[in-house]
Each structure stands twice: as structure tokens, then as C-alpha cells.
Structure 1
């Protein structure tokens, strides 16, 4: 089956649902942070600078609900919870690495263009 823009992103297409889940900036950042192994909530907050604890919790729950992240609660005192990628989540490692490399390579060009475009509209 060939992916075509006119069909793959129709409202009822599973590919569109998948893109909507992973295209969120915090989803990508969280999945990337988990690519090197299980992490606790606090570790993920530190690794994903700028995310609030609440937004991270919402992101982890959404990723868990879609089978990309696993939550493991240990029966310890104090309680300890770790998050890790599921086998399905691990299939995103390479695409996310490629996207991250593209962003590293081209991020400055995007910012430069944005600043240049903004100057055109200044009085």
C-alpha cells in the first residue's frame, strides 16, 4: 500500500491518529528522554527542561494509553515509579533520532528565517 497525502491523513485513518499522538512537542521530547532506558518522573522533568510536572504527567498518561510508554510502580516505601518505552514505543527511536538530528542541523536556519521575516514587518 502506498501512502498518499490525500488518503493517509483522512480523519478516520489510523496514521493520522498516530501522528496526532506523537507530533506533540512534549511527546517527542519525552519519548526521546526515555530512549536511553527507564526514568523516574523527576528525572524526566530534569531531562525535558521547560515542561511542568502536570504536563509531563498528562503526556506520560497519553503515551501510556496508546501503548508507547509503560509505567512500573515498585512496591517500596517510599513508592517508586519508573517509565520506559514499550516495544511499540521503541520503534519510534530511530525516527525521533532522525528528527532530532534534523532539528540540530537546521534549527538555527529556522530561527534566522523567522527573525528575518519579522524584520520585514517592522516599521
Structure 2
């Protein structure tokens, strides 16, 4: 079964990754059928924990067609930014055919993505909330 993961960096310096199983054939099919569902789940979990829901620019969606691909995404999320382990995880995701796309959840994020005006992103914190 395919797994789709949404990774978002927030203005408080934290990151959150949320994954769910899907029957969708590819990323486009998932986003067409379930637009906004993952982002709504992230917002709900962060509000329950009294954390900000304001992101530092668009998030990233990873679509893994099988369990092996999903394992490469999880390995990537658990790697230190800029490390050799991260570079190897990115290559493993590419080899596994993981689809990667920006995720915009608000008009200002869409504007930042289209016009290239992303705020300075800090090094990715260890992803929390995976699963």
C-alpha cells in the first residue's frame, strides 16, 4: 500500500511529519482526491499540543508507492540536515521512485513559492509526529 507523508517546518523552529496509507496510484491522484486532508490533520494535532500552525513557507509532500519507498522517506526524515546520511537517503528515495512535491496550504505560501520569496529556512529539526 502507498504511503503519503507531509513534512512542514514551522516558525517556532519545529518540524512535523504526518503520514497516512492511501490507495491512490500516485501523488496527483492523492492530492486530487484528498486535497487538504493531511494539512488539516497536522493543524489539528499541533493545536491540541498548543503549538503554532504557521509554517515557514510551503511544506513538502512525499508519495511512496510501497513499503520500501516509505522506509526511505522515514530514513530521510530521521537524518541530520546536511549530513552524508541525508544525502544517501535522498538518493535512496529517488531510486525507490518516491514522488516529491511542494505543499501549499495558504495563499501567502503559494505566493512565496511562485515568486521565490521563501523566508530563510533554518536547518530542519528532527521531525516529530511521524506516523
Structure 2 length as normaliser, TM-score? 0.25
Say which one has the larger Rg. Answer: 1
Which protein has greater RCO, CA pairs closer than 8 Å, 6+ apart? 2
Structure with more helix by fraction = 1
Question: If the length of structure 1 is used for normalisation, what is the TM-score?
Answer: 0.26
